[in-house]
Amino acid sequence: MKIGFDHKKYLEEQSKYILERVNNYDKLYLEFGGKLMFDLHAKRVLPGFDENAKIKLLQKLKEKVEVVICVYAGDIERNKIRGDFGITYDLEVLRLIDDLRSYELDVNSVVITRYDGQPATTVFINKLERRGIKVYKHKATMGYPTDVDTIVSDKGYGQNPYIETSKPIVVVTAPGPGSGKLATCLSQLYHENKRGNIAGYSKFETFPVWNVPLKHPLNIAYEAATVDLKDVNMIDSFHFDAYNKVAVNYNRDIESFPVLKRIIEKITGKESIYKSPTDMGVNRVGYGIIDDEAVREASNQEIIRRYFKTICEYKKGYVDKEIADRAKLIMEELNLKESDREVVIPAREYAIKKRNENNKSEISSVVALKLNDGTIVTGRGSDIMDAPAAVILNSIKYLANISDEIHLISPVILEPIQNLKFKTLGIKNTVLNCEEILIALSICAATNPTAQVALDKLSYLKGCQAHSTTIISNSDEQTFRRLEIDITCDPDYQSENLYYNN
């Protein structure tokens, strides 16, 4: 894919802009929207964007930065999952702390928001505190969001404990949306003001991009990514009224701005310097775009991927029909079709061919994978391995110029693994998945040079696109993610089994 984004220019612009904002205050509370690390959405829609750009930006400013992580107690209770990693929010907090420390960034504490003694959350608090992590517990803010006098009082923000910080930039981040980052920032502004300190608030939200047109595929891709939150991009009317300039924001920020402005003015006792929600942002990502056409194409592909993801989540029962229909409408808004994703038709055509050959009525599980040279390789499920594993093996055999007739993994290796799963571990589904096949391949590579040559080609699959005619297992999904292959699925299961399907 063509590069459309200048990562270096973006880092320079962004760090300069943040420091300019900091100079106005003794302390700046910087709310980080989106993913602080592994921002795979930004990487996909902005070819050339470093998925860890934000953390590298903070690392440049590490002497001035400390980090507060917020997590909503309700998300812990219901085991909310971060979709791109398949882990729960409590585990994501632990992962985030480890990763921040690896970048030599100071993790100040974890704030549990809207805490009311929830049992699973209490266990999580104990786990953090017994590992030496400072934890603050914030209750729901009395009077929020309309009663500003109560919110900005000892009954509102005053009930929250003050988070002791020591550096001029306090980054407030979270595993995902709705975690209470804004409330934590405003609570801190209240306490700082009572202590006579000059503190400010800004927001670092990558999407939507305020200085890119409203209907640009880049901004529409953000709507597709947040379809479950029902976010809608809008022209920032406050910004237009104040400056007669068009800026793009989204419904939640625009709707909450009047109350947010009043809260800040009530806390500080003076008129806010912010005349619009766009004013509050410190986002310079739009200035890093160097090839608009490349960004448009990448964004269109992301919208299609998000559509497939949403209709599969509907099939699994995770979202309702309204959300699935909204994903389809976003596709139609840009006249995009499922077939615009190149790997979809080859996968479906091969699946139909195999089903007709076998004279079977059930759906054939086939995965098509497009290599970086444009070649499309397919793999189908069998009694030995599933389709995702098959396409990985077929792809690395192609890259290593190994004939299809040559077996990379000896049956002497595969049979004992299947026997172990069925006879010893009592696992009914003995078909080997991606991870199991790759482990078997690595064992064979110890004595088989051909297998080693194929194994060495795995890194060439990074950035490839794939599509499956059936919903793949969570295990295969994780393996594809680790190999950095973007895979989508048709919303169909391979069999009628409920528990044993994956």
Average pLDDT (207-216) is 95
Give the pLDDT band (50/70/90) at residue 502: low
**Residue 44 DSSP SS3:** helix
pLDDT in tens, 75-97: 999 988 876 677 899 999 999 99
Residues ≥6 apart with Cβ < 8 Å to 119 = 77
How far is residue 432's CA from residue 413's CA, in Å, rounded to a whole number? 12
Average pLDDT (115-127) is 96
- Among 22, 340, 401, 240, which residue's Cα sits nearest to residue 257? 240
Average pLDDT (274-282) is 93
Pick the CATH number of 211-255+291-338 from 3.40.640.10, 1.20.1570.10, 3.40.30.10, 2.40.100.10: 1.20.1570.10
The rounded percent of the chain whose pLDDT value lies above 70 is 98
Torsion angle of C-alpha atoms 202, 205, 206, 209, degrees rounded to 10: -90
Per-residue pLDDT, 170: 96
Per-residue pLDDT, 25: 86
Report the amino acid identity of residue 190: Y
Average pLDDT (25-40) is 88
Beta carbons of 393 and 384 less than 8 angstroms apart: no
CA–chain centroid gap for 405, Å, is 40
Q: Look at 190 and 421; give whichever has higher pLDDT.
A: 190
DSSP 8-state assignment for residue 158: G
Average pLDDT (452-469) is 96
Domain ranges of the chain: 7-206, 211-255+291-338, 342-489
Give the pLDDT band (50/70/90) at residue 361: low
User: What rounded mean pLDDT belongs to the chain?
Assistant: 93
- Among 497, 489, 480, which residue's Cα sits nearest to residue 86? 480
Per-residue pLDDT, 21: 86
pTM for the model stands at: 0.90
Beta carbons of 226 and 234 less than 8 angstroms apart: no
Question: Which pair of structure tokens corresponds to residue 246?
Answer: 């068009």
Beta carbons of 149 and 143 less than 8 angstroms apart: yes
Is residue 354 over pLDDT 70?
yes
User: 39: buried, middle or exposed (CB in 10 Å: 19+, 13-18, 0-12)?
Assistant: buried
pLDDT in tens, 152-209: 999 999 999 999 999 999 999 999 888 999 999 999 999 999 999 999 999 998 999 9
Residues ≥6 apart with Cβ < 8 Å to 35 = 41, 42, 54, 84
Beta carbons of 306 and 41 less than 8 angstroms apart: no
Q: Identify the CATH class of 342-489.
A: alpha beta
The domain 7-206: what is its CATH number? 3.10.630.10
Task: Respond yes or no on whether the N-terminal peptide bond of residue 208 is cis (omega within 30° of 0).
Answer: yes
